[in-house]
Structure 1
Amino acid sequence: MTPRTIAAYGAPGLVLAALALTFYVFLPKYYADVVGIDLTVLGVVVLLSRVWDAVIDPAIGALSDRTRSRWGRRRPWMAFGAIPLAGTFMLLVVLPHIERPLLEGLYLGALTFLFFLFWTMVTVPYEALGAELSFVYDERTRLLGVREGAILAGTLLAALIPIAVGLGVDLPAGAAGERQRYWLIGLTYAVLVMLLVGVCLLFVRERTWAESQRPKAFFRNLKTIWGNGPFRIVLAAYATSALGVSVAATMILFYVEHVLGSRAGPVFLAIYLGIGTATVPVWIYLARRLEKRRAWLLALGVNTGAFVWAIFLGRGDAVLFSVIVLCSALGLGGVMALPPSMQADVIDYDEWKTGARREGEYIGFWSIIKKLAAALSAGLAFPILDLSGYAPGAVEQVPTAIWTLRLLYVGTPSVCNLIAMAIAWRYPISRGMHEGIRREIDLRMAAGEPLALR
């Protein structure tokens, strides 16, 4: 694959990650402290909208598998989803305060439902496209590693944008200034969504598929997906780790402000993501040397072994936390970059068993896990924090709220990653096994309709 194709494919990951981080990390605090939405209402809205999002993921994935058009089966979905995705995100960041909590919750819920519908129309076909662009074991890791590197860079961008937006602009003080700041953030991301998705659509070509490789009845396929043993292993490990990561992402600003007594949450997040992004090429190299499973286990171990010590920190320990963030970030690139390549390998395993290419269906189920993890992180963490006595907007929090923040932010991801490592240890697809699978698939295809690039 050419560097231009790899870069063009990775480009949308930058802005899609920025949207996701803004929604899960910055908007909840903005809604609670500036807009004035009740924490429990916020948690319920996020949970219900993400359950809806999870329901439509496999449906859109399956529909994209079965789409026939002159532009391929993934790009039409991305094209039709990008503009309304940008529009609904703008509406989310200019959310008005409504005096009646029920109406406010319904309005936020409706917008969130639409946002995730268009999000899925873009992201599920986009991720499915990556799994089918290359069948080469190490080239696939490089391609998807670049995408995950772009996602980390986009997350870093989202951490820095709230700091940068408004510099040189005379924004009003207080809530009015924050509202104008988020309007500028929303406009920036809306433009980037349309621009970077457009770059991918323009420069990345799709494969055409033999009719025998197209999946047939969706519901009959569910049994064979779940019967894919390597997929179950990597999905379970990833899901467990993703739950912990989502809880930490949701709680980081609360932890830094109320446990450490610092306002530097975006700075810590920028350090973490910057180092994680920079180490992605190192983890791609290690995956080539150690193979993917061993490299992923090593990344999880480095990430968790450093991060767990943050549970002992308190007010005034910002410098120590910086050291922990730096060390933990050394494993982040591998934690993020390697699972998508392992996921693509299990899709090849499925083709070897069934003869069909079903990236959309597999990505749909993969996305369910990512989104349910994010939904649970908000739907459970916020009510737990509310029950602990957390007072929104207050400078000082009660001790039970402080310890709850420690356990949510540090304890949850540490335990989840340890469980994920135990599960991932059993992942069976090595380089040799994958190369054997691809050889047999290619021999079968040699007797039938060949693959070509559109």
Structure 2
Amino acid sequence: MQQGKLLTYTKSERNVYLVSMAGQNIIYNIIGAALAYYFQFVILIPALIVGVIMSVARVWDAINDFMMGTIVDKTRSKWGKCRPFLIYVPIPIMIITILAFTSFGFYGGSIGMNILIVAWASIMYILWGMIYTIGDIPLWGVTALMTENSHDRNKLLSFARIAGGVGGGVTMLAIVPLSLAFGEKLTASLGISAANGERWGFFLGALLFAIIGTAMFQLCGFKIKERVVSSEKKPSLKENFITMKNNKPFMQIMLSGILGSPKMLIALAAMPLINYYFATKDPIMSFVYMVVLGGGMFLGNFTGMGIAPAMMKKFKKKDIYNISNLASALPFAAIFIIYLLTPRGLLATSIPLIVLFSILFMINGFFSGLVTVLQSSMIADCIDYEEHKTGNRPDGIFFAGQTFLAKLTTGIATILAAIAYAAVGFSDAAVEDLNAYIANLGPNDLLPRDMPIYDNFMMILFLIVSLPPAIGCLLSVIPTWKYALDDDLHKRIVSELNERRHKADDIKIEAETNDLLVTSESSKEENAEKE
């Protein structure tokens, strides 16, 4: 092998990987964007119970993610470390995703029915998290195995975040409005209640998006190739925990992500905010507001993710990460201040204010996009750092840390949202009454956002998407302010690692060549003796 020539992925592999990443994020956002809404606002499970279900699931995922990361790091097959999981897991994820939106009725009837609904919701959500992890960790971990070139890896991670953002963004924008539209059609055509129509509408919405997402996700396992060969050492779960604990930059990233958990509230509360304040559960208006407000955030997000590789060439990763987090706090805080200063209900009808909100969300999205790519890139750097230090390459367990962060931060944000909703009484019976009022709105009736009786509900929705995320942005820079892995040090590490790998390959090739020569000489001698 020629010294200095780095193995990397083809354009075809890159494109297939990005399609699969988009598909996987479609599936993730069926759950991330719609399931909590479905539990609390459709089948009316109380907010605190929803929070407990999701928080307990995240505690289990904390264990499950790292167990799965260890399994990936132990895996050696003809397909590699990650591909076997990417081949076999998408279909089971699709099935569990659909089952999560299968309910037996509405919470609030008999005690037995309530127990059944909560038990089913809990089992499906926990099971979904377990199965999803089996596909998620290998999908991210394989990026470190597809190329030896750190710049190509950073580009792939950036494109992956964009592809995931597109898949997830389309799902976030469309799944709730589309499910509401399905519900209205079913209510009108079958003569069922609006509540039952909405429940079945969400089932159909989940079914449609799950099939599309799975078809895309499935491609990756069959079409990509792993090029970076891992060491033969197969670490135990205990050894992996010790590895993570002793890798200072990795622990700094993990702690930063955990402290930034309140930032996830923007994703959790966006649907209720748009549907109850802006759109009053009208499917068309819900989609319009999602495009205007959510579209601003996604546009900023994609822009940030798209320019992240170029920025990483010019500036230190640590500086981009920290400054982006700090800068995000200002527009988050501005959202709540504007709400407090604006007369009741005006934010939904004032075009200048809606445009201003879209711009604020766009700014947040831009910095969030940078942080998202930087987090993945810095975790990949930590893998190189660990391989250089110990000879062990912990792709699975370190990218398990990334999936762990995504789930844990969502769990923490969910319980925070549940506490906030419960504090103002925006839960179960109150939601049922509000839904019934909206379903029976006449042309001359006041909208909920214009009624003083619902002021606390509307206030809490705006508060959740603004002040806690702003605080999370500030907290997240504390661990990484003095980040332990400098960019210059990482460049030296990558250079030395590639030299080691290529020397090892050259030695292996030389040994194989010598064996062939010895075998050839032996054959010649045997033939000579026979003659």
Q: TM-score, normalised by structure 1?
A: 0.90
Counterpart for residue 219 of structure 1:
238
**3-state SS of the aligned residue for 2:163?**
helix
Measure, in 1, the Cα distance between the counterparts of 2:270 and 2:136.
25
CA 1:308–1:384: 2 relative to 1, 3 Å: closer
Please tell me whether residue 172 in structure 1 is matched to residue 187 in structure 2: yes
Measure, in 2, the Cα distance between the counterparts of 1:156 and 1:144.
17
Aligned positions of 1:209-358 closer than 5 A: 209=229, 211-212=231-232, 214-241=233-260, 243-257=261-275, 264=286, 266-267=290-291, 268-314=293-339, 315-318=345-348, 319=354, 320-358=356-394
Measure, in 2, the Cα distance between the counterparts of 1:283 and 1:15.
22
CA 1:381–1:244: 2 relative to 1, 3 Å: same
- Give CA deviations for 1:58-87 in whole Å, capped at 9, x if unaligned: 111101111122111211112222111100
Measure, in 2, the Cα distance between the counterparts of 1:300 and 1:210.
34
Please tell me whether residue 419 in structure 1 is matched to residue 475 in structure 2: yes
Counterpart for residue 89 of structure 1:
97
Please tell me whether residue 11 in structure 1 is matched to residue 13 in structure 2: no
CA contact (8 A) 1:276 1:330 kept: yes
Q: CA RMSD in A?
A: 2.7
Alignment: residue pair count: 450
Alpha-carbon offset, residue 359 of structure 1: 0.8
Alpha-carbon offset, residue 258 of structure 1: 5.3
Measure, in 2, the Cα distance between the counterparts of 1:316 and 1:87.
43
Alpha-carbon offset, residue 401 of structure 1: 4.4
CA contact (8 A) 1:307 1:328 kept: yes
Q: Tell me which of 212, 215, 218 is aligned to 1:195.
A: 215
Q: Which amino acid aligns with 1:23?
A: I
Please tell me whether residue 206 in structure 1 is matched to residue 226 in structure 2: yes
Measure, in 2, the Cα distance between the counterparts of 1:129 and 1:450.
24
CA contact (8 A) 2:70 2:235 kept: no
Measure, in 1, the Cα distance between the counterparts of 2:495 and 2:11.
26
Please tell me whether residue 444 in structure 1 is matched to residue 500 in structure 2: yes
- Give CA deviations for 1:339-394 in whole Å, capped at 9, x if unaligned: 10111001100111110111111122332222111111112321331122223242
CA 1:140–1:106: 2 relative to 1, 3 Å: same
Which structure has the greater CA radius of gyration? 2
Runs of 5+ consecutive residues of structure 2 not aligned to the other structure: 1-8, 189-193, 340-344, 349-353, 435-447, 509-531
Alpha-carbon offset, residue 398 of structure 1: 5.0
Measure, in 2, the Cα distance between the counterparts of 1:266 and 1:260.
10
Measure, in 2, the Cα distance between the counterparts of 1:127 and 1:208.
14
CA 1:292–1:384: 2 relative to 1, 3 Å: same
Q: Tell me which of 381, 392, 395 is aligned to 2:431.
A: 392
Counterpart for residue 158 of structure 1:
171
CA contact (8 A) 2:249 2:484 kept: yes
CA contact (8 A) 1:303 1:328 kept: yes
Alpha-carbon offset, residue 446 of structure 1: 4.3
Q: Tell me which of 411, 418, 424 is aligned to 1:375.
A: 411
CA contact (8 A) 2:250 2:382 kept: yes
Alpha-carbon offset, residue 226 of structure 1: 0.9
Q: TM-score, normalised by structure 2?
A: 0.78
CA contact (8 A) 1:58 1:361 kept: yes
Measure, in 1, the Cα distance between the counterparts of 2:132 and 2:209.
13
CA 1:450–1:259: 2 relative to 1, 3 Å: farther
CA contact (8 A) 2:23 2:214 kept: no
**3-state SS of the aligned residue for 2:218?**
helix
Counterpart for residue 53 of structure 2:
45
CA 1:450–1:132: 2 relative to 1, 3 Å: farther
CA 1:10–1:288: 2 relative to 1, 3 Å: same
Q: Which amino acid aligns with 1:255?
A: L
CA contact (8 A) 1:160 1:266 kept: yes
Aligned positions of 1:96-107 closer than 5 A: 96-97=104-105, 99=109, 100-107=113-120
